[in-house]
Amino acid sequence: AMRSRAEVDATLQTAKLNPAELLPAVHCLSFGPQAGTGECYLLQLEPGLCAELEAGRSLVIRGEKDEQAVLCSRDKTYDMKIADTSNMLLFIPGCKTPEQLNADQASCDIIHSQIAGFSNNYWELRRCRPKLKKLRKLLMEDPYEGPDSQKDKTLTFSKYTTEDLFTLIQASEEEILHQLQVINACKIEGHWRILEFDYEMKLLNHVTQLIDSESWSLSKVPLRTCLEELGSLEPTEMIEHILLSYGKRYIDDGEVYFEMHEDKICRAIAQMLLQNAVKFNLSEFQEVWQQSVPEGMTARLDQLKGLALVDKTSRPETILLLKVEDLPEDNQERFNSLFSIREKWTEVDITPYIQDLCAEKQTVGALLTKYARSSMQNGVKVYNSRRPIS
């Protein structure tokens, strides 16, 4: 039975409240038929998500059975956690605020509002790094070795479409698409593939040799001529892909050109040299490296951040291959791994290997404070592990 005005007024009188001090409208709250069935959940929205939902866009919750779930919008990833409150939260449709009541002169005297549900917890979100290491791992299951590959084509390996990747990776779609670009993946026959490194270098070499023989400027490499000259050696899609991976595309006077990326090319050539042995004499390496890069390009050690590690304490100084993408994704595991490779690190040396761990608005300094201990060595600040590393 719904409450009447008379009953409401009687309650006010018993409560000794003066109706003259109250707004005329009253909400009589009761529990709706679905309240208490636990079908309603509260999700606390981080900035931007409210606008996404109002625009009609969906969110997706993704999680492996043994992993903590993440929530993905179109372009961001969030950790999800249940937050408990000691209070009771009731959610009420059609309940008006004083502003709304004052604005609407025709508001009903009695508003019978049904409480749709109640809860003492809600889902809390915290922006996190997308879990993208798995992306490289999946694509490395079957790297593309080129059309002449000797690989046994009768063996079926997993191949992944864009949709496959969206369902397998705990990250938003835009973060995944961006990462595909970062790792120079390409779509072959509808599947995303990563190039086998030797094949990638073979393609790059075709291009750099052509640039050299044609005496082109490194900032104006014509697509059309590349495809004409190299099309007999490699698939044209692959030639274009390597130009896109190592250059910046632009149009001049109706023709497509590429501005070759000096740092990326030098870096790739360094990787090619370094992967052949465990460690190199630094000065010997630098000499060979400079001779190996295209004419007009300068090989510099700062191009190798996150790829190679220089040891200035050894005599002679050495350099070795250490790729950040080969290191663990979890913060603590990453630091453990780095400290087992080298006991003490300067901030300059360790930064390229922990930069990607920084959460939104977190600095490398904050990470070091949390996961490392600092000390002074020969007047330089160094960081070592907080705990013994076996």
Among positions 47-66, residues that touch other proteins (CB under 8 A) are: 47, 49-50, 52-65
Q: Is 34 in the site for other proteins (CB under 8 A)?
A: yes
Size of the site for other proteins (CB under 8 A): 75
Nearer to other proteins, 83 or 140 (CB): 83
Q: Is 82 in the site for other proteins (CB under 8 A)?
A: no
302 strand-pairing partners: none
Least gap, CB of 222 to other proteins (angstroms) = 44
Nearer to other proteins, 4 or 217 (CB): 4
Q: What DSSP designation does 210 have? A: H
Which of 97, 156, 213, 232 lies at the binding interface for other proteins (CB under 8 A)? 97
Nearer to other proteins, 35 or 319 (CB): 35
Residues 198-237 that bind other proteins (CB under 8 A): none
Residues 117-156 that bind other proteins (CB under 8 A): 117-118, 120, 122
In the block, residue with structure tokens 């593309």: 144
Q: Residue 261 corresponds to which tokens in the numbers above? A: 């990326």
- Buried (b) or exposed (e) across 233-265, using 16+ Cβ within 10 A? ebeeebbbbbbebbbeeeeeeeebbbebbbbeb
Q: Is 14 in the site for other proteins (CB under 8 A)?
A: yes
Least gap, CB of 129 to other proteins (angstroms) = 18
d(Cα 127, Cα 137) in Å, to the nearest integer? 23
Q: Is 90 in the site for other proteins (CB under 8 A)?
A: yes
Contacts 24+ apart (CB under 8 A), 290-293: 293/265, 293/266, 293/269
Which of 44, 161, 181, 275 lies at the binding interface for other proteins (CB under 8 A)? 44
d(Cα 51, Cα 279) in Å, to the nearest integer? 52
Contacting range for other proteins; rule: CB under 8 A; set: 26-34, 316-324, 356-364, 367-375: 26-34
Contacting range for other proteins; rule: CB under 8 A; set: 166-174, 203-211, 225-233, 307-315: 166-174
Cα-based angle 106, 110, 114 (whole degrees, multiple of 5): 115
Q: Is 109 in the site for other proteins (CB under 8 A)?
A: no
- Torsions phi, psi of 62, nearest 5? -125, 140
Least gap, CB of 10 to other proteins (angstroms) = 11
Least gap, CB of 169 to other proteins (angstroms) = 8
Q: Is 69 in the site for other proteins (CB under 8 A)?
A: yes
Coil, helix or strand for 285? helix
Nearer to other proteins, 72 or 382 (CB): 72
In the block, residue with structure tokens 């630094």: 282
Nearer to other proteins, 153 or 361 (CB): 361
Q: Strands 318-321 and 280-281: what pairing?
A: antiparallel
Q: Where are the alpha helices (DSSP H) in 249-346?
A: 262-274, 282-292, 331-341
Residues 241-280 that bind other proteins (CB under 8 A): none
